Structure 1
Amino acid sequence: MKPTTQPGSSPLKWVKSSYSGNNGNCVEVAVLPDGGRALRDSKDPSGPVLTFAADEFNAFVAGAVDGEFPQA
């Protein structure tokens, strides 16, 4: 993971989950040209962006599905 404010030179298509409400507290994701993913806070679209290589993001999603990150 690497924080950045500009993940690439081409515009990204940002999407959020269809489960997101209209309260503005959402995480948006975009596919990067190299297959990685970028994440940002929907409340601050011009703010910081976290970028992940494809294998890093896939490992995170697999861990979430497998319950590796229990809620406190």
Structure 2
Amino acid sequence: MSWLPSLLTDTPESGYELAIKLSRMAVKKTQPDDDTRSKLRADYANNADSLTMVSNVVATNFQTVAQANNYWRD
């Protein structure tokens, strides 16, 4: 089974959770080595700029999910 069977979600909250998963999977696919990701985590987990960038990535992914689910109706 695919890790991403659909962008459709039941609620905006589950859509936001999907946006987080999309963001995390992008990191995992970019850096597939678990040990390397674990070592790098301390660098960005304590860096305000890195955390802000994470928020931006999640927000962009949420826009994609929201559009697919028509969360913003006319």
TM-score by shorter chain over 0.5: no
Q: TM-score, normalised by structure 1?
A: 0.31
- Could you say which structure has the greater relative contact order, defined with CA pairs below 8 angstroms and 6 or more residues apart? 2
Q: TM-score, normalised by structure 2?
A: 0.30
Higher strand share: 1
